Structure 1
Amino acid sequence: MTCIYSEIGGAAALTAVVEDFYARVLGDARLAGYFRNSDMTALKRKQVAFFSAALGGPGPYRGLSMAAAHRGRNIGRLQFDLAVGHLTAALTACGVPETTTAEIIAAIAPLSDDIVADQHSAALG
Structure 2
Amino acid sequence: MMSVLPRPLFKGLKRGASFVLASGLLLIQIPAFAGERTTLYDDFGGYAVLSAVISDMLARSLADPEMAPIFANSDMDRLQSMLVLHMCHLADGPCVYDGQHMRRAHDGLGIETRHFNRLVEYMQDAMDEQGVAFRTQNRLLARLAPFHNDVTERSAVPPRNGKPNSHSRAPVGNR
Regarding TM over 0.5, the answer is yes
User: Over alpha carbons, which structure has the higher Rg?
Assistant: 2
Pairing partner for 2:90 from 10, 31, 54: 54
Aligned residue in 1 for 2:123:
87
In structure 2, the CA distance between the partners of 1:119 and 1:102, relative to structure 1 (3 Å rule), is farther
Residues 81-120 of structure 1 aligned to structure 2 (within 5 Å)? 81-118=117-154
In structure 2, the CA distance between the partners of 1:119 and 1:108, relative to structure 1 (3 Å rule), is farther
| Aligned residue identity for 1:56 | D
Deviant stretches of 4+, over 4 Å: none
Pairing partner for 1:63 from 94, 99, 107: 99
Larger helix proportion of the pair: 1
Aligned residue in 1 for 2:73:
37
For structure 1, list consecutive stretches of 5 or more residues without a partner in the other structure.
121-125
Aligned residue in 1 for 2:62:
26
TM-score by length of 1: 0.91
SS at 1:22 equivalent: helix
Cα distance between partner residues in 2 of 1:20 and 1:59 = 20
Cα distance between partner residues in 2 of 1:26 and 1:59 = 26
Return the offset for 1:46: 0.4
Alignment root-mean-square deviation, CA: 1.2
Percent sequence identity is 33
Tell me: higher relative CO, structure 1 or 2? Use CA pairs within 8 A at least 6 residues apart: 1
